[in-house]
Structure 1
Amino acid sequence: MEQGAARERATEGPSVRFGDPAPGPYAPGGGAGPGAGSARVPEQARGEHTHGEHTHGEHTHGESPLAGDGPRTVRRHSVRGQVLDALRTALVAGELRPGEVYSAPALGERFGVSATPVREAMQRLAVEGAVEVVPNRGFRVVVRTARELTELAEVRALIEVPVMLRLARTVPAARWAALRPFAEATGAAAARGDRAHYAETDRAFHREVLALAGNEQLLVIADDLHRRSQWPLLSAPVLRHADLVADAAEHSALLDALVARDLPVVESLVREHFTGANG
């Protein structure tokens, strides 16, 4: 657990806040455009136009790119890392809506940074399969089909079920007890209805469990699959609060089964969990 917790701690640096003035060289801007009350992007960083028209039934957000209900701080070493984390949170929270197109300059104004770190972060999200590039316009948030989600759940099960079963046979009960706080964190986030924080704690729980296998490549692949399967479901309006709470409760049930070395229950819980609120 100590190694997993250390991986979660990042070097603190300046923070990106939704709607706040940016630190350093970005001076506060005025007006009623995107980022009113936030930092103005330097002219040399403005390499694109923000489009507000409809094209082929798609809407490009150029004035109010995120619909959050307040500032959200993300602390990371680099500006790009801060923006990437903020965009991931916006995806899970439903502030960036599937099927819609967002331009890097407009999002940059909202974050109080230039378009460059936003564009770099969006390129990373494209690699992760969360968005796709729309030439000369920006980035479209991907719409996951039911088939894609089913396929992701199948691949996750193929990878993680054998690992979980092996861990259930070999890991002492005391090690599983040390993971209780991670399960409790998911339960607390679910109880509050905080989908963005639930997404983070859910991934943290799964990372801590899989970390006991001692395979770093497994962690990288499993986390990538988890992200791909997670955000569309968590951002869906139809997801009920009760579903989120029930999904979080499966973490504690899984730990109980792992402690008891009940292999059939472990396998059943893992498979069912992949098709629940967390994807």
Structure 2
Amino acid sequence: MRQTRTRTRRGTQTTMPGTGGGNGAVTRSTLRQQLADALRDEVLGGRLQPGQEFTVKEIAEQYGVSATPVREALVDLSAQGLLDAVQHRGFQVHEYSLDDYRHMVEARILVTDGMFRRLGERKVDPRAAAALAGVRRRGEEARRAATAGDLDILIGYDLRFWRELSILFGNPYLADFLHRLRVQAWVCAVQFLRRVKGPDGLKGRLWASHTDLVDALTRRDAQTAQEIIAAYDAHSLDLVERLAAE
């Protein structure tokens, strides 16, 4: 089985299997997802820039795999709004605007506002309480990364944190919608966030109240939870707008 190396968001390396040998259907499906995840990380990491074009062949050669799972992965990312198909040329990274980001935050507000509104009226599920402890650990990692200004580590933990939280306190359809929206919002935001240079970079400028939100939800304090989320949305939009204006 051929192998190639792909860089993860945390800067470590993982092994990506090739397409030969084993159960072909399972291997191809797994490889398709691995490729989609790796390419999404390239976009989130700013290594694939908005508007940058590439072909299926180029990606297949880069990762040392056949064209079929690459094409499938690129189609998946196009369906998620991260890539655009360019007729007769391949694909390009979707270019989001500042107005797009404003609309994303607005959509996020409309959905999340209702998710926690009736928190105090819901019956406590012991399994949810136990799962919330795991979410808090993700929140601690996200908080540390945000405080340190480590964007690469923050994005991964932040996406996982919000996805798990949405599943616990919403319905799975809304959780999937919000996750896709958050990925798109990060893709849009990183083009502005990565402009920040200097020794301190983004240190102290990123939202870092993940654990405060979990603590409020653990107390079933819906009002505080909503206030924290509102502050998060306002902070995110204000930061991106200020960076876009610089």
Q: TM-score, normalised by structure 1?
A: 0.66
Q: Does 1:18 align with 2:31?
A: no
Quote the residue 1:195 is aligned against: 151
Quote the residue 2:68 is aligned against: 116
Quote the residue 1:58 is aligned against: none
Mapped to 2, the partners of 1:115 and 1:243 lie a distance apart of 43
Q: Does 1:242 align with 2:199?
A: no
Unaligned runs of 5+ in 2: 18-26, 241-246
> One-letter code of the match for 2:153?
H
Q: Are the structure 2 counterparts of residues 105 and 171 from structure 1 closer, same or farther at C-alpha, using a change threshold of 3 Å?
A: farther
Mapped to 1, the partners of 2:4 and 2:147 lie a distance apart of 27
Alignment partner for residue 205 of structure 1, among 161, 165, 169?
161
> One-letter code of the match for 1:238?
R
Quote the residue 1:257 is aligned against: 216
1:190 positional shift = 3.5
Would you identify which runs of 4 or more consecutive aligned residues in structure 1 move more than 6 Å?
none
1:141 positional shift = 0.8
Residue pair 2:143, 2:209 contacting (<8 A) in 1 also: no
> One-letter code of the match for 1:150?
R
Q: Are the structure 2 counterparts of residues 182 and 71 from structure 1 closer, same or farther at C-alpha, using a change threshold of 3 Å?
A: closer
Q: How many residues align?
A: 217
1:119 positional shift = 1.7
> One-letter code of the match for 2:135?
L
1:216 positional shift = 1.7
State the Cα RMSD in Å: 3.3
Q: Are the structure 2 counterparts of residues 79 and 178 from structure 1 closer, same or farther at C-alpha, using a change threshold of 3 Å?
A: closer
Quote the residue 1:50 is aligned against: none
Alignment partner for residue 117 of structure 2, among 165, 172, 178?
165
Cα deviation 1:96-121 (Å, max 9, x = unaligned)? 00111111111111111122222211
Q: Does 1:72 align with 2:13?
A: yes
> One-letter code of the match for 1:104?
V
Structure (1 or 2) with the larger CA radius of gyration: 1
1:88 positional shift = 0.7
1:165 positional shift = 2.8
Moved more, 207-216 or 268-277: 268-277
Match of 1:212, SS state, is: helix
Mapped to 1, the partners of 2:15 and 2:153 lie a distance apart of 12
> One-letter code of the match for 2:157?
T
Q: Are the structure 2 counterparts of residues 158 and 241 from structure 1 closer, same or farther at C-alpha, using a change threshold of 3 Å?
A: same
> One-letter code of the match for 2:45?
A
Mapped to 1, the partners of 2:156 and 2:61 lie a distance apart of 26
Quote the residue 1:52 is aligned against: none
Quote the residue 2:231 is aligned against: 272
Cα deviation 1:13-57 (Å, max 9, x = unaligned)? 9975239xxxxxxxxxxxxxxxxxxxxxxxxxxxxxxxxxxxxxx
Percent of residue pairs bearing the same amino acid type: 28
